[in-house]
């Protein structure tokens, strides 16, 4: 049988409350009594539950994290960034996914009710924002890893420069003389899709080369949507000399379809993605892409939450970490890259 706090109290001839005070360093205690309790703890080999000690101190030293799924290509980088910070500060991570929809959310809600963690990091599963907002308004510290400045009630968040990153991709392609890009967007319901589309299209329009509707294809962030978009454009006779895809998977699919159609990359068609997941450096040719600072976003979100536990207010505006353009062989060799300066 495991040794309990009751066993320690009985052997030391004190109450369980006194043992708890010794463990947590709380309250005024006679030094001789405290020394006796510590000696009994050593003799019995009692190891207190970390959760019990945390609750006695008013803190679990555990952070919850709610994500849609672990299968998203960039999820591991964000998680690793958060975990690096939490482990350094001796916090644990309780991870929740929404793979089972409402069933997953019921499990998550039960853990919230039992106060199993001190605060929450969120990569928003679709359809959960109202629940997350309600929890935050009720007092649960929450930090979103995303840009939520467009929400009516902004939540603390860490995001990146979707619009500026897409604009940089546009200036790069314009600098290479690519005037007829095909755009493979993400789902229309995602805020990043709108930001990336506007950032890219605005630069082309300002340069006198507006992007017509037949060169914008709504995708779903998969390899297949990029492949299908390019194949359909080729079959329909749409003229394009570049592809800007809203993530790296669809960019890789687009590049493969272009090659299958006999188009050389980058000579005939230059291809740019978004995210800079590990795959991007290993496509043939390697993919030029807008790098999201994924690990950094996880790190900053975790630091923001831990700082709040120590008394720092959560920020009222999004924390933005800039994206950067990583130039590889799918557009041009890096030493020949040209950028159109930002206005």
Instruction: Say yes or no: do domains 62-160+294-321 and 162-293+325-336 share a fold.
Output: yes
Global pTM exceeds 0.85: no
User: Which residues 6+ apart lie within 8 Å of 101 measured at CB?
Assistant: none
What mean pLDDT do residues 318-342 have? 77
pLDDT at 5: 84
Q: What is the DSSP letter of 81?
A: H
Mean pLDDT, range 174-191, rounded to an integer: 94
The residues spanned by each domain of the chain are 5-56, 62-160+294-321, 162-293+325-336
Torsion of CA 238, 240, 244, 248, to 10 degrees: 80
User: Which H or E element spans position 122?
Assistant: strand 119-122
Which CATH number is 5-56's, of 3.40.50.720, 3.40.50.10130, 1.10.260.40, 1.10.3300.10?
1.10.260.40
CA distance 81 to 145: 11
Buried-state track 177-201, b at ≥16 Cβ within 10 A, e below 16: ebeebbbbbbeeebbbbbbbbebbb
Q: What is the mean pLDDT of residues 37-42?
A: 87
CB 18, CB 29: distance < 8 Å? yes
Does domain 62-160+294-321 correspond to CATH entry 3.40.50.2300?
Answer: yes
Q: Which carries the bigger pLDDT value, residue 173 or residue 49? A: 173
What pLDDT band is residue 334 in, cutting at 50, 70 and 90?
very low
CA–CA dist 136, 60 (Å, integer): 18
Write down the pLDDT at residue 82.
96
Name, in order, each residue with C-beta under 8 angstroms of 164's C-beta and a sequence gap of 6 or more. 199, 322, 323
pLDDT tens digits for range 21-37: 887 666 677 888 888 98
Inter-residue contact 242 to 178 (CB < 8 Å): yes
Residue 168: φ, ψ to 5°: -65, -40
The predicted-structure confidence for 242-301, as pLDDT tens digits, reads as follows 999 999 999 999 999 999 999 999 999 999 999 999 999 999 999 999 999 999 999 999
Q: Collapse the DSSP code of 17 into the 3-class scheme (helix H, G, I; strand E, B; otherwise coil) and give the result.
A: helix
Q: Does residue 86 have a pLDDT over 60?
A: yes
Rounded Cα–Cα distance for residues 297 and 79 (Å): 9
Q: CA-to-CA distance for 147 and 193, rounded, in angstroms?
A: 12
Q: What is the DSSP letter of 316?
A: S
Alpha carbon distance 257, 277 (integer Å): 20
Q: Quick one: tokens of 74?
A: 């960039």
Can you name the CATH fold of 162-293+325-336? Rossmann fold (3.40.50)
Tokens representing residue 301 in the block: 């979100």
Instruction: Show the tokens assigned to 81.
Output: 């960034």
What are the phi and psi torsion angles at 267 (to 5°)?
Answer: -60, -50
Query: Given this model, what pLDDT does residue 309 score?
Result: 92
Q: What is the pLDDT of residue 167?
A: 98
pLDDT given for residue 85 in this prediction: 96
Token digits of residue 159: 């995001």
Closest CA to 247 of 181, 285, 291, 214: 291
- Asked whether the bond before 266 is cis by omega within 30 degrees of 0, the reply is yes
pLDDT at 153 over 80: no
């Amino acid at each position: 049988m495991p040794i309990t706090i009751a066993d320690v109290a009985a052997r030391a001839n004190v109450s369980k409350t006194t043992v708890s005070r010794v463990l947590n360093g709380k309250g005024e205690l006679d030094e001789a009594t405290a020394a006796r309790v510590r000696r009994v703890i050593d003799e019995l080999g009692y190891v207190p539950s970390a959760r019990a000690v945390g609750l006695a101190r008013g803190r679990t030293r555990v952070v919850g994290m709610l994500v849609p799924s672990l299968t998203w290509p960039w999820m591991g980088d964000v998680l690793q960034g958060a975990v690096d910070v939490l482990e350094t500060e001796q916090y644990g991570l309780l991870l929740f996914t929404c793979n089972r929809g409402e069933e997953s959310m019921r499990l998550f809600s039960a853990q919230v009710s039992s106060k199993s963690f001190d605060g929450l990091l969120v990569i928003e599963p679709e359809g959960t924002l109202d629940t997350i907002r309600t929890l935050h308004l009720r007092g649960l510290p929450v930090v979103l890893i995303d840009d939520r400045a467009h929400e009516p009630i902004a939540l603390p968040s860490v995001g990146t420069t979707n619009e500026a990153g897409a604009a940089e991709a546009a200036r790069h392609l314009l600098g290479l003389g690519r005037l007829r890009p095909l755009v493979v967007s993400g789902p229309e319901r995602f805020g990043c899709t709108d930001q990336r589309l506007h950032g890219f299209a605005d630069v082309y329009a300002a340069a006198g080369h507006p992007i017509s509707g037949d060169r914008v294809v709504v995708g779903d962030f998969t390899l297949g949507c990029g492949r299908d978009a390019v194949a359909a454009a080729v079959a329909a006779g749409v003229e394009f000399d570049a592809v800007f895809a809203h993530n790296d998977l669809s960019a890789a699919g687009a590049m493969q379809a272009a090659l299958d159609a006999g188009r050389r990359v980058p000579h005939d068609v230059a291809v740019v993605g978004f995210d800079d997941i590990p795959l991007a450096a290993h496509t043939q040719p390697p993919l030029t892409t807008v790098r999201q600072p994924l690990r950094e976003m996880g790190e900053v979100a975790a630091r923001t939450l831990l700082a709040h536990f120590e008394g720092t207010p959560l920020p009222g505006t999004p924390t933005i970490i800039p994206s950067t353009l990583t130039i590889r062989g799918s557009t041009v060799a890096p030493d020949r890259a040209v950028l159109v300066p930002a206005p």
